[in-house]
């Protein structure tokens, strides 16, 4: 579905995160846009209203939607993310487990079992929305967001896992933390994660966490 949401913006709704990323890729390759912002199930397209007619843009986007844009292929390799669960690293894990009726070991077993996929980056630089969370681990966000969540925090909410690549405010349930750095502003490619990446979480000990790097 195509909706005009501002004088210079359209929102294109699609059926999946992969479709959103694929559409954004096609639009980037075509060029001519002020900005493209892919989301979970949509792409916001901004254009220069001084040089492009909104009706022409709407027709162009509408024609594109009639075609079958190739889906973004998930990466062939699986990136392993080390996680120290619970304690100071995951201060919400006890409450989450109580809410779900699980022990910490059961939660960790479910979270580290199987593959996950990065659906999109957003909210803050490098923040990863990661799909594939076991439905038994689905919990709501915190009623009161934190003013500061440490970089590397691993959190769950609304059927997804979130990775806070940078310290920031946040309202997801913090269940662990990774010692790895996933966003480096000085690097040519600042984010280590990207949409379509396949992910596995691996539980590590406090000793491993402290000795990392």
For the segment 15-61, what is each residue's pLDDT rounded down to a tens digit? 777 777 778 878 888 788 998 888 877 888 999 988 998 888 888 88
**How many whole angstroms separate alpha carbon 163 and alpha carbon 175?**
11
**How many whole angstroms separate alpha carbon 109 and alpha carbon 97?**
12
pLDDT of 73: 53
In angstroms, what CA-CA distances link 26 with 46, 61, 162? 15, 11, 26
pLDDT: is 149 or 194 the higher one? 149
pLDDT of 203: 98
**How many whole angstroms separate alpha carbon 19 and alpha carbon 36?**
14
Evaluate if residue 163 carries a pLDDT over 60. Answer: yes
Q: What is the mean pLDDT of the chain?
A: 89
User: Going from the N-terminus, what domains does the chain have, and what CATH number goes with each?
Assistant: 2-66 (3.30.1360.40), 78-211 (2.40.100.10)
Q: Produce one character per residue of 16-40: b if its CB has 16 or more CB atoms within 10 Å, e if not.
A: ebbbbbbbbbebeeeeeeeebebbe
Tokens at residue 62, please?
């509408």
Residue 23: name the closest of 159, 195, 192 by CA.
195
Give pLDDT tens digits for 95-107.
999 999 999 999 9
Tokens at residue 51, please?
């040089």
Residue 70 pLDDT grade (very low, low, confident, very high; cuts 50, 70, 90): low
Evaluate if residue 162 carries a pLDDT over 90. Answer: yes
Residue 206 pLDDT grade (very low, low, confident, very high; cuts 50, 70, 90): very high
Q: What are phi and psi of 168, to 5 degrees?
A: -170, 165
pLDDT of 71: 53
pLDDT: is 58 or 84 the higher one? 84
Angle between helices 93-100 and 104-112 (to 10 degrees): 90
**How many whole angstroms separate alpha carbon 40 and alpha carbon 26?**
17
Residue 1 pLDDT grade (very low, low, confident, very high; cuts 50, 70, 90): confident
Give pLDDT tens digits for 129-157.
999 999 999 999 999 999 999 999 999 99
Mean pLDDT of the region 177-197: 89
**How many whole angstroms separate alpha carbon 10 and alpha carbon 20?**
14
């Amino acid at each position: 579905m195509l909706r005009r949401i501002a004088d210079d913006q359209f929102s294109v709704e699609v059926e999946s995160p992969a479709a959103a990323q694929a559409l954004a890729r096609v639009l980037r390759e075509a060029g001519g846009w002020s900005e493209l912002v892919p989301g979970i199930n949509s792409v916001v397209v901004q254009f220069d209203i001084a040089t492009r007619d909104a009706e022409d843009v709407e027709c162009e986007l509408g024609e594109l939607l009639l075609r079958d844009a190739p889906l973004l292929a998930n990466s062939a390799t699986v990136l392993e993310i080390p996680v120290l669960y619970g304690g100071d690293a995951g201060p919400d894990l006890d409450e989450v487990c109580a809410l779900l009726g699980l022990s910490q070991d059961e939660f960790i077993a479910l979270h580290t079992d199987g593959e996950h996929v990065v659906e999109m980056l957003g909210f803050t630089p490098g923040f990863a929305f990661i799909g594939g969370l076991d439905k038994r681990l689905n919990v709501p966000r915190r009623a009161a967001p934190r003013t500061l969540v440490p970089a590397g925090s691993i959190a769950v909410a609304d059927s997804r896992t979130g990775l806070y690549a940078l310290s920031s405010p946040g309202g997801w349930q913090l269940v662990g933390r990774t010692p790895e750095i996933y966003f480096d502003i000085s690097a040519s490619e600042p984010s280590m994660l990207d949409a379509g990446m396949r992910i596995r979480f691996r539980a590590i000990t406090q000793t491993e966490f402290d000795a990392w790097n």
